[in-house]
Amino acid sequence: MAAHLGYYGCVNYKAILEYQMLLNGLSPDLLSHCMFAPIASIFSNPWNAESNSAASVGVLQDVASPWSGLKELFQVGVWPWFGSSDAMDDQMPWGRGMVTPRPVKGEVQSNPTPDSEPPTERNLPFYHLPVLMQEVLELLQPAPGKLIFDGTLGGGGHTEALLQRGAHVVAMDQDEEALNHASLRLKPYAERFCALRGNFRDFPKVLGEAGISGLDGMMIDIGVSSRHLDAAERGFSFAKDGPLDMRMDQSAAITAADIVNTYSQEELERILRENAEEPQSRRIARAIVQDRVKSPFKTTLQLAEMIARVCPKHSKKHPATLTFQAIRCEVNLEYSALRDFLAAAPKWLKPGGRLLVISFHSIEDRIVKQAFQHQSAAFLDRPEWPAPRPNPDCVYRLLTKKPLEATENELALNPRARSARLRAAERLNS
């Protein structure tokens, strides 16, 4: 599908590509042949300023033209914020720089390198671009013989990177669509990969029934995926018109429409305040109750436009952003699920095992921070106590005193990573 890049997008994209081309021994002048012309698609894989120049240049050998060389150097697809695409899932991103072919069944690649003849068949649509990939790999330290749990499989990006390092991975997701996508994508790793359906809060029961125990690592990447936001029919986005749904598990009984059309004004105000810290919670709750009498809310744009009407925009953030967050968290019981997961995780980690949590807004990050602080404090102290006492819940050593955030390079390629915060802890021996 041919598309034109706007001038602003081309300028930003040109700067990034010029830098990458210099690293790989190519003349930036080549961009004049392509940057301001219709192109079939735009690049979607992250790359690394530290990628191996010699390996990348090798991809360009025996290429008929400079432009075809560029197409072989990068994976072709579409940026996640432009929606779904026919992405080349025969290849996968590695760190922030390299594109490597997906291996055949049973193959382990500890140090993948790009293929000089990338596959031409495109199998799966774009689903989600994983965030903080390099940080996840450095902290989890996947290796052959290790068993790692991914509680939010999603598009399978993090899991695939772990599998490529030789680890065994058991993954969960409550979204059947995500499970189907990732299972197809990760078929080559069937001997070391298992996907189970369920919410990560229920992992003790699900893993117990599967006979799995003793984990070397655990991670969850909470929140919505690019697929959720880009698929209008899922009802997560205030920028696309779709049914007011917001269910991650589409078999769940309660939808966003049920909440908006049946909760009292006091209940709506509470969830807006507690789930998203919306400063206009009372005004929005009152407007919802008044408007639904005339006509029940059925679509995302209907709700978003009403909120924009009663709360004019005063910043870059859309007035409906926090309301949609609050309703989504209520539909999926996200905060209670996170707390249940954090409470159960220590019992499943081996000594030295590591727990990683990626969150996307301050309330989630605060829950993780407070849990890790309590579970890593050797002593507890209270004003009424004569002296500090040993903490019976001390099971972790903090690996991140402050949350890790996306680098400028990653943000240039994936703006949706701007809110990501990664915290990690290691299980103590006792």
- What is the tens place of the pLDDT at every residue in 181-213? 999 999 999 999 999 999 999 999 999 998 998
Q: Which alpha helices (DSSP H) does 24-108 contain, by range?
A: 53-59, 66-73
Residue type, 161: A
Kind and range of the H or E run holding 272: helix 265-276
HEC profile for 218-243?
EEEECCCCHHHHHCHHHCCCCCCCCE
133-226+335-427: CATH homologous superfamily?
Answer: Vaccinia Virus protein VP39 (3.40.50.150)
Q: What is the mean pLDDT of the chain?
A: 78
Upper half-sphere CA count for residue 61 (Cβ side, 13 Å): 10
Q: How confident is the model at residue 379 (pLDDT cuts 50, 70, 90)?
A: very high
Residue labelled with tokens 């700067």: 15
Tokens of 136: 């996840």
pLDDT of residue 69: 39
Upper half-sphere CA count for residue 98 (Cβ side, 13 Å): 23
Residues 232, 241 contacting (CB under 8 angstroms): yes
CA–CA gap between residue 124 and residue 86 (Å, rounded): 7
239-331: CATH homologous superfamily?
Answer: Putative methyltransferase TM0872, insert domain (1.10.150.170)
Query: What would the pLDDT profile of 125-164 be if each residue is shown by its tens digit?
Result: 545 689 999 999 999 999 999 999 999 999 899 999 999 9
pLDDT of residue 247: 94
Give the rounded percent of residues in the chain with a pLDDT score beyond 70: 70
CA–CA gap between residue 53 and residue 62 (Å, rounded): 17
Domain locations in the chain as residue ranges: 7-101, 133-226+335-427, 239-331
Tokens of 422: 């990664």
Q: Which residues lie below 8 Å from residue 364, measured CB to CB, with a gap of 6+?
A: 222, 223, 334, 335, 338
Stronger pLDDT, 216 or 86, i.e. the higher one: 216
The alpha carbon of residue 244 and the mean position of all alpha carbons in its chain are separated, in whole angstroms, by: 22
User: Do 133-226+335-427 and 239-331 share a fold?
Assistant: no
- Asked whether residue 299 carries a pLDDT value surpassing 70, the answer given is yes
- Asked whether residue 85 carries a pLDDT value surpassing 80, the answer given is no
Per-residue b or e along 171-194, where b marks 16 or more CB atoms closer than 10 Å to that residue's CB: bbbbbebbbebbbebbebbeebbb
- Asked whether residue 214 carries a pLDDT value surpassing 50, the answer given is yes
Residue type, 236: F
